[in-house]
Amino acid sequence: MKNAVIIFTRIPVPGKTKTRMMPYLTGRACASLHTCFLKDICRECEKTGYDIFVYYAPEGEKSTLVSILGADKTYRKQEGEGLGERMLSALREVLAEGYDACLLTGTDVPELDAEILTTAVSKLRTKDIVFGPTIDGGYYLVGMKKSHAEAFTGQTYGHGSVLQNTVSHLREKGRSVGYVRTLQDMDEPADLRDYRGRMKRNAGLRAKATGQYLMRNVKISIIIPVYNEEKTVGHMMGQLSPLKSRCEIIFVDGQSSDRTRTIIGDEYKVIESPKGRAVQMNAGAAESTGDVLLFLHCDSELPSRPLEEIRYVMRKNRAGCFGIGFHSMNFFMFTCRLISNIRAFAGRIMFGDQGIFIERELFFEMGGFPEIPLMEDYQFSINLKTRGIAVGMTPHRIYTSDRRFPEGTASKLKVMWEMNRLRKLYRGGVPVTQLTKYYRDIR
């Protein structure tokens, strides 16, 4: 059999394509994402051995598509007034060239694979028309052995009953209909988040151009709770300066009484909330827009490429943290570092000074940090562990201040012992309000 597949697309011009992704993505990012969709779909079409035709909307230059898909395809402009008329015209034109079957697919479904295409052609041996349904009630693929105008005439598009209405009309006309696998098209930001979720379970999706792009460009929000941090906030701002254009940064001030707000000024977004680390972090999360939320202590020192490290971990995980380190050479600080990292890696218990990061959806599913005056990070990690959420750890450490530990080896050992005792009492059911009496606020 002589078969053909039509890739029906716009040209990926910034501001003209995937506009429903804006402003979550910039116009340029939308065009880059569409380019990835085209590459993935074309690669699967090529695996079938079918002749490939590219029908494109007139906006932009054909050369853009040729540079993406290759010069060995047949390129034609779409003709017709509405979407249905343009699809019918393309199918009719290609089938008239002697093909036994022709498939037409859009470019919003980067999970399309060669098996779906070959299955669609196989179904056309017994069916007049075959569709690839989308989760939202439309279709990403239509295939025919000869043109059937009734599949497109009188139809409207862009709503949840497109496929249902089309099939009902076809059956009234006595046409037989077959289906291939249902897929999710990528129209809105939520669709990208769903794709990222499937990527964590499917290495094949991570290997696609779309998967690679989404891993490189996952949006990160950094949330820093502050209270009387005039001694540390300047250093933190210096670390964040190179990241300003690459992520969202939110300081959450717990009504500081020192110069913290003055030092931050207008350089970063600052919101206010009642004092309390959990309350402040939850308030920052509510104001954020990122796909991944990083909760960062103000006295922390980030590794050189923190966003890349987070994205690397989040390829396969829904939550994670940095390994922790201290600049102190004291033996007990080394021991504290070792125990903390083992606890996070093997025991899946992360502490706030390790820079906890987590998928946005999961964070809100969890109800955020428990708004308790102490142990909010500990309880949050316990809650994640109870739900069976695996956590990852970055290869490089975040360094945190040892300001909670006084000078002297014996004094440091005493603080470590007290903190371990507080966690044990908490696990034993002692009210957290009682434990706060033993926890020293060092700011």
- Write the pLDDT tens digit of every residue in 180-207: 999 999 999 989 989 998 998 899 999 9
Answer whether residue 206 is part of any domain: no
Q: How many domains does the chain have?
A: 2
Name the residue with higher pLDDT: 286 or 159.
286
Answer whether residue 292 is part of any domain: yes
How far apart, in Å, are the Cα atoms of 107 and each of 56, 120, 134, 193? 11, 17, 12, 18
Is the distance from CB of 374 to CB of 436 less than 8 angstroms? yes
Q: What is the DSSP track for 159-212?
A: STTHHHHHHHHHHHTT--EEE---B----SHHHHHHHHHHHHH-HHHHHSHHHH
Per-residue pLDDT tens for 356-414?
999 999 999 999 999 988 778 888 999 999 999 988 999 888 887 655 554 555 555 55
* CATH number (domain holding residue 284): 3.90.550.10
pLDDT of residue 7: 98
Mean pLDDT of 278-299: 95
Rounded to 10 degrees, the C-alpha dihedral 302/308/310/314 comes to -170
pLDDT at 343 over 80: no
Domain enclosing residue 333, as ranges: 218-405
Per-residue pLDDT tens for 304-316?
999 999 999 999 8
Per-residue pLDDT tens for 235-280?
999 999 999 999 999 999 999 999 999 999 999 999 999 999 999 9
Please indicate, yes or no, whether residues 137 and 285 belong to a single structural domain of this protein. no
Answer whether residue 208 is part of any domain: no
pLDDT at 143 over 80: yes
pLDDT of residue 442: 43
Task: Choose one of 193, 227, 261: the last residue of a domain.
Answer: 193
Please indicate, yes or no, whether residues 25 and 104 belong to a single structural domain of this protein. yes
Q: What are the structure tokens assigned to 324, written together?
A: 């922790």
pLDDT at 441 over 90: no
Tell me the pLDDT band of 419, cut-offs 50, 70 and 90.
low
Q: What phi, psi does 139 have (nearest 5°)?
A: -145, 145
Mean pLDDT of 165-194: 93
Please indicate, yes or no, whether residues 228 and 170 belong to a single structural domain of this protein. no
Please indicate, yes or no, whether residues 332 and 368 belong to a single structural domain of this protein. yes
pLDDT of residue 231: 92
- Residue 314's SS3 state is coil
pLDDT of residue 59: 77
Is the distance from CB of 2 to CB of 50 less than 8 angstroms? no
Please indicate, yes or no, whether residues 244 and 164 belong to a single structural domain of this protein. no
pLDDT of residue 352: 79
Name the residue with higher pLDDT: 403 or 113.
113
Task: Choose one of 193, 209, 241: the last residue of a domain.
Answer: 193
Mean pLDDT of 147-176: 86
pLDDT of residue 61: 83
Per-residue pLDDT tens for 32-63?
999 999 999 999 999 999 999 999 997 778 99
Q: Whose CA is closest to 162, among 192, 191, 185, 146?
A: 185
Please indicate, yes or no, whether residues 360 and 251 belong to a single structural domain of this protein. yes
Please indicate, yes or no, whether residues 225 and 173 belong to a single structural domain of this protein. no
Q: Whose CA is closest to 106, among 165, 180, 193, 185?
A: 185
Record the pTM.
Answer: 0.79
pLDDT of residue 396: 87
> CA 218 to CA 248: how far, in whole Å?
11
pLDDT of residue 443: 47
Name the residue with higher pLDDT: 413 or 294.
294
pLDDT of residue 153: 81
Name the residue with higher pLDDT: 440 or 35.
35
Tell me the pLDDT band of 110, cut-offs 50, 70 and 90.
very high
> CA 34 to CA 12: how far, in whole Å?
6
How far apart, in Å, are the Cα atoms of 52 and each of 49, 92, 259, 294? 9, 15, 65, 44
Share of the chain above pLDDT 70, in %: 86
Please indicate, yes or no, whether residues 18 and 143 belong to a single structural domain of this protein. yes
Answer whether residue 435 is part of any domain: no
> CA 195 to CA 214: how far, in whole Å?
9
